[in-house]
Amino acid sequence: MEKKRILTGDRPTGPLHLGHYVGSVANRVNLQDKYDTFIIIADVQALTTNFDQPERLKQDVLNVAMDNIACGVDPAKATIFVQSMVPAIAELTIIYSNLVTVQQLFHNPTIKTEAAQYHFEESMPYGFLGYPVSQAADITFCRAHLVPVGEDQAPHIELTRKIVRKFNAIYAPVLIEPEQILNPRLIGLDGNAKMSKSLGNAIYLSDPPEEVQRKVNRAVTDPARIHPQDKGHPEVCVVFAYHKVFNSGEVKDIEERCRNGLIGCVPCKKRLTAVLNQFLEPIRARRAELEKNPDTVWDVLQNGTKRARTEGEKTMALVREAVKINYFPIPERP
Ligand code: TRP
């Protein structure tokens, strides 16, 4: 039997951080053997909030590709590709735009949160408001069954499902209705629910050891703890949250010692720094190798994009027939 297909990906707006790793990359590495995995580098989506800084895109596309590969995404198993170079995604976006209302888009909670971040409330670019429609095209152009993403992406997956149902009901049942695989989320250094570049509360996969140390030292701990002997409340401590994710072997012991005032925040942070740097070391090493050979990374993206284009053409043939816009044969597009 053919493997089920996964589609997931990232917006290239800078290098990836630990939040991306926990919230997405780790799971795609785990799933790449079992599923036919497509990883989109969503540069068109990045442009919706950075359209006036196009000069950053190329480096960020490369960064995201290198970070994924450095974390263990294997280009021999997963198809990594660039969104803007797959015409089917743009074409589907236009066709899907008739199946969505602007009211629906304005109600999307993730759009609301991001609009506030980018000060778009008063003057909302059409492309930004509509990026979830484009994301529905990202997911459906290759007929993906599963989308492993964090909970902030759930509204977009729900919209995708609605669009697919509407399309299949009106035209012909040719699209796959995808399901979300819910990934965990990592809190930010400042205690914000989400680690994110725009909030400035992230540890990057490419941060050098001293930078990791500096950031961990700044991380928010239990404010009620003044002296090392004070009894701590690990449930409100960012450092503890990271121990839970990255230091499962010691986390029980650390929790007990914190609750009983037997470990201070300084040694606890020191230990976390060591654990994180140990985790990041092989990723940094692989990334350094890739940085020396960017051409091999561009080759990976070119090959992945070719395969994505082929899959897109297959879906477009079905879609053109369903929407009855296949008036005459057209030359094949490579
Ligand atoms: N919106 C996602 C993010 O902000 C990135 C993304 C674009 C994506 N297209 C996608 C994720 C398709 C999953 C599937 O991180």
Residue-wise pLDDT tens digits, 51-60: 999 999 999 9
Alpha-carbon distance 306 to 290, whole Å? 21
Residues 142-146: what's their mean pLDDT? 98
Min mean pLDDT across 121-125, 174-178, 273-277, 319-323 is at 121-125
Q: How open is the CA angle 145-150-152, to the nearest 5 degrees?
A: 110
pLDDT for 286 equals 97
Residues 255-270: what's their mean pLDDT? 96
Structure-block tokens of residue 138: 């990202």
- The average confidence (pLDDT) of the chain is 96
Residue 332 pLDDT level (bands cut at 50, 70, 90): confident
DSSP three-state, residue 129: helix
Structure-block tokens of residue 315: 């879906």
First-to-final CA distance of the chain: 28
Residue 331 pLDDT level (bands cut at 50, 70, 90): confident
pLDDT for 11 equals 95
Residue 6: strand pairing partners:
37, 146
pLDDT at 256 over 90: yes
pLDDT for 198 equals 85
pLDDT at 296 over 80: yes
Atom of ligand 1 nearest to the CA of 45: 7
Residues 98-126: what's their mean pLDDT? 95
Residue 184 pLDDT level (bands cut at 50, 70, 90): very high
Residue 319 pLDDT level (bands cut at 50, 70, 90): very high
Atom of ligand 1 nearest to the CA of 153: 1
254 Cα to the center of ligand 1, angstroms: 35
| CB 131, CB 48: distance < 8 Å | yes
pLDDT at 101 over 80: yes
* Residue nearest ligand 1's atom 8 by CA: 9
More confident residue, 142 or 329: 142
Residue 7: strand pairing partners:
38
pLDDT at 97 over 90: yes
Residue 292 pLDDT level (bands cut at 50, 70, 90): very high
Neighbours of 200 (CB within 10 A): 10
Question: How far are the Cα atoms of 2, 186, 210, 213, 247 from residue 244, in angstroms, in the given order?
Answer: 37, 11, 22, 18, 6
pLDDT for 330 equals 80
Atom of ligand 1 nearest to the CA of 135: 9
Residues 34-41: what's their mean pLDDT? 98
Q: Which residues line ligand 1 (CB under 6 A)?
A: 7-11, 40, 42, 45, 135, 138-139, 147, 149, 153
pLDDT at 333 over 80: no
Pocket perturbation via mutation, ligand 1, pick of 93, 138, 146, 199 by most ligand atoms within 8 A of CB: 138
Express as a percent the part of the chain with pLDDT over 70: 100
Residue 232 pLDDT level (bands cut at 50, 70, 90): very high
Q: Which residues fall within 8 angstroms of residue 290, CB to CB, at 6 or more apart?
A: 66, 69, 70, 296, 297
Atom of ligand 1 nearest to the CA of 156: 1
pLDDT at 334 over 80: no
* Residue nearest ligand 1's atom 13 by CA: 8
* Residue nearest ligand 1's atom 7 by CA: 42
pLDDT for 10 equals 95
